[in-house]
């Protein structure tokens, strides 16, 4: 999925986070391609990335937890395969996954989830110089549980800031598809344009523009069209009363429904049903007559 974003503004958000936490932070799209990052990569990580296989293992570890946080719809803190503490947080907009924010490259002050033993085991498993990596591990920023909780809260605030300020936003074609789908699924409900604007974080002008470009009509015009199509289907395929047709298509004012229907089709709902049944009966009679002629 494509993302539009203001790179400078996004970097400003990441820089603020880095200033407070001293933990490197990066933003990825939903396909896990890096968009922006801020902060100095720890020597520990730089050294690991010199080894192709270990670099791939780093990316695989991050991707696995990205999938997990996307599934859980919340941030996840974990220990990477090399023993460092990482946190990944999903960026979502109206239920759509836009990407991820990851911060980390730090060590656990309490040693509960990362520590010297894990680094030593990792080095032994991969044939690395344990003394060298332990030295670099010792220079990492240390984070305790309370700090980590605070960092996660700050990260969540940063994500919300990114969404609200439109630093990151959906590609317009994706957003228009999302809006049109919502209208198609909820056209019988009574919602206002203001409620739609709040739902999709859009101004009224932008909402009207997107719907007009996608459907060729206004928001109200598109909803009315969907309702009238549904009304026709009910009149043609069921024997429910016109009052029921009105309520099932989102109109609780019977007289208003009649006016809208008449304006759309030139006749009343009852007249429409009678004409449809008459024409269908005529067509059926013609078919039966044709069948008799062929049978002779």
- The distance of Cα 43 from the centroid of its chain, to the nearest Å, equals 35
Judge whether residue 263 has pLDDT over 60: yes
Report the mean per-residue pLDDT for the chain: 85
Rounded average pLDDT over 210-227: 93
pLDDT exceeding 90 applies to what percent of the chain? Answer: 31
Residue at token pair 């209208």 = 183
Judge whether residue 181 has pLDDT over 80: yes
> Is the four-CA dihedral 205, 206, 212, 213 of positive or negative sign?
positive
Residue 217: phi, psi to the nearest 5?
A: -135, 175
136 token code pair: 């670099």
Q: Sketch out the chain's domains with CATH numbers.
A: 3-169 (3.30.450.20), 172-290 (1.10.10.60)
Spatial distance between the Cα atoms of 25 and 21, rounded to a whole number of angstroms: 10
Rounded average pLDDT over 37-53: 88
Distances (CA, A) of 162 to 16, 166, 173: 12, 6, 20
Strand partners, 169: 4
Q: Is 266 left (phi over 0), alpha (psi -120 to 50) or beta?
A: left
Judge whether residue 18 has pLDDT over 70: yes
Task: Give pLDDT, residue 296.
Answer: 45
pLDDT category, 248, cuts 50, 70, 90?
Answer: very high
């Amino acid at each position: 999925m494509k993302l539009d974003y203001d790179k400078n503004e996004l970097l400003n958000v990441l820089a603020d986070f880095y200033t407070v936490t001293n933990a490197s932070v990066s933003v990825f799209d939903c396909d896990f391609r890096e968009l922006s990052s801020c902060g100095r990569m720890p020597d520990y990580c730089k050294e690991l990335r010199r080894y192709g296989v270990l670099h791939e293992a780093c990316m695989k570890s991050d991707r696995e937890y990205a999938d997990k946080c996307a599934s859980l719809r919340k941030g996840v803190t974990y220990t990477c395969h090399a023993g460092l503490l990482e946190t990944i947080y999903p960026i979502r907009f109206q239920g759509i996954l836009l990407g991820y924010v990851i911060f980390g490259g730090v060590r656990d002050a309490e040693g509960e989830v990362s520590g010297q033993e894990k680094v030593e085991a990792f080095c032994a498993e991969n044939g690395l110089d344990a003394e060298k990596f332990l030295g670099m591990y010792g220079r990492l920023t240390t984070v305790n549980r309370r700090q980590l909780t605070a960092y996660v809260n700050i990260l969540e605030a940063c994500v919300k800031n990114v969404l609200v300020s439109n630093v990151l936003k959906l590609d317009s074609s994706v957003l228009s598809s999302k809006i049109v789908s919502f209208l198609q699924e909820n056209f019988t409900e009574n919602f206002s344009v203001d409620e739609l604007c709040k739902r999709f974080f859009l101004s009224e002008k932008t909402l009207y523009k997107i719907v007009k470009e996608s459907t060729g009509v206004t928001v109200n015009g598109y909803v009315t069209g969907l309702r009238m199509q549904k009304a026709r289907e009910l009149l043609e395929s069921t024997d429910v009363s016109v009052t029921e047709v009105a309520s099932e298509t989102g109109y609780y004012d019977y007289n208003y429904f009649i006016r809208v229907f008449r304006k759309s089709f030139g006749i009343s709902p009852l007249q429409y049903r009678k004409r449809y049944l008459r024409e269908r009966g005529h067509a059926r009679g013609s078919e039966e007559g044709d069948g008799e002629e062929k049978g002779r």
